[in-house]
Structure formats: C-alpha cells, structure tokens
Amino acid sequence: MKHLKTIVAAALISGGLAGTAYAVQAKDSADNDAKSAAEATITLNSALEIALQSVPGTAVGVEFENEDGIALWEVEILASNQQVYDLEIDAISGEVLKNKIDKDDREEDDD
C-alpha cells in the first residue's frame, strides 16, 4: 500500500511539473508572438488591404501567427462567390504566401 501511495504521489508531482512546463512554453510562445508582432513591418490594416486586393470580398477573420519563425498575418475572406479564402501574408515583406479556398468551411456549409 505504501508503494502505491508513492507511485500516486510521483504521478501527481509529475503531472504538476508537466503542467508548469506547458504554462512556461505557452508564455514563451506568447512572448515570441509579441516580439514578432512588434518587429512586423506590415500592420494589421496593411495585411487586410493586401488580402482584399488578392481576394475581393469581406474580411471575416484575422490573426497574427509566428509559424516556424515566420511572422504571418492569417486572413479569412468571404468572397463575392460565397467561398471562404484563407490567406497568409508575410508580416515583414507583405508577400501573399498562401491563398486558397477554405475547404473546411465549404464542407460545413454542405451539411
């Protein structure tokens, strides 16, 4: 019984440490995003303009991301043809890195 209590205690402590490590990692990720956003030369408004020039329509979502060290603006556009487009705009150069129809949104509409 004493051995079982030791195992349970060790598991609880390990779980607590893992949770702490995850919280530190999440904070580090948020710090990296904040640093990348501060270094970005393309503002949110500029990213929206670039996206809307690529796909005319209505911006329905925008998010700043740091993917593998690349600062990006992810923009969702609802086009006049009722298709939802996902665009990735490089937050430093303003280059459109991705422009594709969001198939996940299309499939939800078909249900």
Instruction: Residue 79: name the closest of 96, 102, 62, 63 by CA.
Output: 102
Q: Which CATH topology does 41-111 take?
A: Nuclear Transport Factor 2; Chain: A, (3.10.450)
Calculate mean pLDDT across residues 30-41: 71
Asked whether the beta carbons of 94 and 50 are under 8 A apart, the reply is yes
Task: Render pLDDT for 39-84 as a digit per residue (tens, 0 to 9).
Answer: 789 999 999 999 999 999 999 999 999 888 889 999 999 999 999 9
> Is 89 a residue whose pLDDT tops 80?
yes
Backbone phi and psi for residue 29, each to the nearest 5 degrees, phi listed first: -65, -45
Check residue 104 and give its pLDDT. Answer: 74
Pair type for strands 84-90 and 70-79? antiparallel
CB 84 within 8 Å of CB 101: yes
Specify the amino acid at residue 93: S
* In the chain, % of residues over pLDDT 70: 60
Domain map (residue ranges) of the chain: 1-39, 41-111
Mean pLDDT of 7-36: 49
Q: What pLDDT sits at residue 68? A: 86
Question: 96 or 18, which is more confident?
Answer: 96
pLDDT of res. 10: 40
Average model confidence (pLDDT) across the chain:
76
Residue pair 85/55 in contact by the 8 Å Cβ criterion = yes
